[in-house]
Chain A
C-alpha cells in the first residue's frame, strides 16, 4: 500500500507539473491585463505543432527546439497584444471574451484546414520511458516537464523580483493608473507581459509535445484546467500557479484512486470552490482595493 501511495503521489506531482506548465503563461497575462484569453489552449496547440515541424524539418529535439520556440512565441505574443488586445483594452468585457473565443475557433479550424485532423507525434527515444525508483515509476517525459516548469517558474520569479521590467509588471498589475503616473510606459509593459506570457506558452507546448499526440483541438484539454489553476493560485502569482498546479494534480491523483476515477474532476472542482469561498483571491492572491 505504501508503494501504491508513493506512486500516486509521484503521478500527482508530475501531473501537477503539466498543469503548472500550461498555467504560467496564462497567469502573467490574466494577472496583469485582466484579459481572459480563451485562445490560450490554441496557442499551446500552435507551439506543439511548431515543435513538431521543427522536429520533422530539422530533426530538432523538442527541448532543443525551445531555443527557437521561445523567441518565436515572444514575438507572437507582442503581435497578439498589439493587434488584438490593445484595441480591446477599453472595450466591454463581453467584447474581449468574444474576440478571444473567436480567435480560438479561427486557430483551431485553420490548423484543421492546413494540417488536417491527423495525429502528429514527436518521436523521441524517451517518450514512453520511465525511471524506476524503489519499485515506483517516473515517466521521463513528464519528469522533464516538471523540471522545465520549475526552471521556468524560477526564472520568471527572478525576473519579477530582481529586474525593472518585473517591478513595472507588478506595479501595473496592482494599479495601472498609478503605475502610469509613476512614469511607467503601460503600453510597453503590456507588450512585454503578453510576449513573456506567450513565450511561456511556447515552452509549454514544446515540452508537452513528446507527452501528448498533437491535433488541432489538443489545446481544448488544457484551457479549463489552466484557468482553474490560475484562479486558485491567485491571478498574476507565479508561485501560486506553480503550487496551485501541484495541488490540483495531487488532489486529482488521490481522489481518482481512493474515491473513483470518474469523480476525480468533481473532487478538484469542489476543492477549488471551497478554497475560493474561504479566500476569493486565491491561495496566494492579494486583495487590491479598487481605485476610485
Chain B
C-alpha cells in the first residue's frame, strides 16, 4: 500500500513521499494507518463480492412435511429417506434451474401439527412449495393451510380422496386415491381370486376390517361399493382405531363371519398386531389382502415364511423396472439400489411413493417452471402430461384441472395387487404389470411354517 493512499485515507494531504522518507514515528503511524485501511478496504470488498459469489449457488428451499415423531414416525422416516434420495439424484444433475434443492422439514404428527407446521414453513421459511403428506388426515388438514396461502402442496403419498375433492387450486395429489385402492381390490377378488378359487362371485364372502381414519374408511367404503357392484357378498365391515393394543374382538367377529376373503386396511403397528392375532386365534381364509405393513420388508423380517401368499394393495412399489421406459426404469433401479445400500432394506410404499413424487416434482415440474414461485410451479404442474410407465412412480402424471371438484387429482394413477411368494413381493394384478401368477388359496395356519 503506497504512502499516497495512506495519506488520502487519513484525511490529511501528505506530500506524496514514499515510506522511508518520513520520520520513524511518522513512519510507524503511517504503517499502522496503512494496515487498518487495508483491513477495512478488503473487508468491505469481500462483503460486497460475497452475495454475488453466493447468488449463483443459492439453494432452493422447499418444505417437506411427514410425521417424523409419534405413532407414524416409522413410515414418515421412510418417506423422508425416499425424498432425500430423489433430492440427491437431482442435485447431482445440477439441481433445479441451476440451484441445489434444500429441504426444510416439518413434523406432521397429527392434523393439528400438520396445520401448524404448514403455517410455519410458509410464513417463516417462506417456501413456495411443500411436498409430503403421509396419513390422509394430516395431509387433508395441511392442504387447507396451503390453499389459503396460495402455496402448492405436492402430496406424494397420502391417498384420501377428500384431499383433492374440494376444487382446490394449489393441491396436487400424485398417488392413487383411496377409492381406487378399494375398487382395485374388489376387481382383483372378483376377476382373479374368485375364479382361481373356483367360487362364483355371488358366493364369495368378503369381510372388511380397517383402521378408522380417512385412509382406512374410504378404502373400505369403496371396496364395499365396488364389491357389491360385482356381485360379491360383503359379510362384515369392522372399524378400529389404529393405536389399539388389541384386536381380538375384531378378529373373533371376522372368524364368526366365515369369510372367503379378508381385506385389512391398516398402518404398521396395527398391521403387525392384526397378523399376529390372526395367527394366534387360528383364523383362516382363502385370500388375505392387506395394506402398508404387508408391503414392508419388516413384515417379512418378522414373520418369515408365514408371509407367503399374503397379498397387499399398494402403489406399484415392486413393479419390475423392465416394464417401464428405459429412462424411468434406470431411475427406479438406481433408487432401489441406493435405498438398499443405505438402509439394508427394500423400500416399501412410503419410501417408493415419496421418492417417485419428489422426483416428478423436481425433475418435471420445478425444472420446467417459468419461475420458482408458487404460481409458476402451479402452472407447470397443471401442464404436466407424463404417460404411463414413463416415470419412476410407474404410472404417469396428469392432473385434473380447475374448475373440476377433483382438481389436482392424478388421473393417471392406479394401485396394484402384489403377493408374497418365497418371501419376495411380486405384482400379480393388473396382468400387464404382473411378474407372477397369483397363488391361492392361502394355506391354513397349521400347514404354514
Given A121-B302, A130-B281, A262-B240, residue A11 in contact with residue B252 (CB < 8 A): yes
Q: Does any Cβ of B come within 8 Å of A261's Cβ?
A: yes
Per-residue CB proximity of B70-93 to A under 8 Å, as 1/0? 110110110000000000000000
Q: Does any Cβ of A come within 8 Å of B249's Cβ?
A: yes
Chain A residues lying within 8 Å of B273, measured Cβ to Cβ, are: 212
Residue contact A117 to B76, C-beta cutoff 8 Å: yes
Residue contact B69 to A132, C-beta cutoff 8 Å: no
Chain B residues lying within 8 Å of A118, measured Cβ to Cβ, are: 74, 77
Q: Does any Cβ of B come within 8 Å of A100's Cβ?
A: no
Residue contact A256 to B282, C-beta cutoff 8 Å: no
Across the interface, name the chain A residue whose C-beta is closest to B254.
Answer: A261
Q: Does any Cβ of B come within 8 Å of A75's Cβ?
A: no
Given A130-B282, A257-B253, A261-B238, residue A15 in contact with residue B248 (CB < 8 A): yes
Task: Report how many residues on chain B are interfacial, defined by Cβ distance under 8 Å.
Answer: 38
Which residues from 16 to 59 on chain A have a C-beta closer than 8 Å to any C-beta of chain B?
A: 18
Q: Does any Cβ of B come within 8 Å of A7's Cβ?
A: yes
Question: A137 is contacted by which of B238, B239, B269, B281 (Cβ under 8 Å)?
Answer: B281
Residue contact B280 to A213, C-beta cutoff 8 Å: no
Task: Report how many residues on chain A are interfacial, defined by Cβ distance under 8 Å.
Answer: 44
Chain B residues lying within 8 Å of A18, measured Cβ to Cβ, are: 245-246
Chain A residues lying within 8 Å of B119, measured Cβ to Cβ, are: none
Chain A residues lying within 8 Å of B73, measured Cβ to Cβ, are: 112, 117, 215-217
Residue contact B248 to A253, C-beta cutoff 8 Å: yes
Question: B245 is contacted by which of A139, A140, A212 (Cβ under 8 Å)?
Answer: A212
Residue contact A261 to B70, C-beta cutoff 8 Å: no
Chain B nearest CB: distance from A72 CB in Å? 24
Chain B residues lying within 8 Å of A15, measured Cβ to Cβ, are: 246, 248
Across the interface, name the chain B residue whose C-beta is closest to A127.
Answer: B276
Interface SS of chain A: helix
Residue contact B245 to A217, C-beta cutoff 8 Å: no
Residue contact B302 to A216, C-beta cutoff 8 Å: no
Across the interface, name the chain A residue whose C-beta is closest to B276.
Answer: A128
Chain B residues lying within 8 Å of A132, measured Cβ to Cβ, are: 282
A14 vs B248: C-alpha distance when bound (angstroms): 10
Q: Does any Cβ of A come within 8 Å of B303's Cβ?
A: yes
Given A15-B246, A130-B280, A130-B281, residue A4 in contact with residue B272 (CB < 8 A): no
Q: List chain B positions with a Cβ less than 8 A from chain A.
A: 68-71, 73-74, 76-77, 212, 238-241, 243-246, 248-250, 252-253, 256, 268-269, 272-273, 276-277, 279-282, 298, 301-303, 306
Q: Which 10 A-B pairs have the closest CB atoms?
A: A256-B249, A117-B73, A11-B248, A139-B280, A130-B280, A117-B74, A261-B250, A128-B279, A117-B77, A262-B239
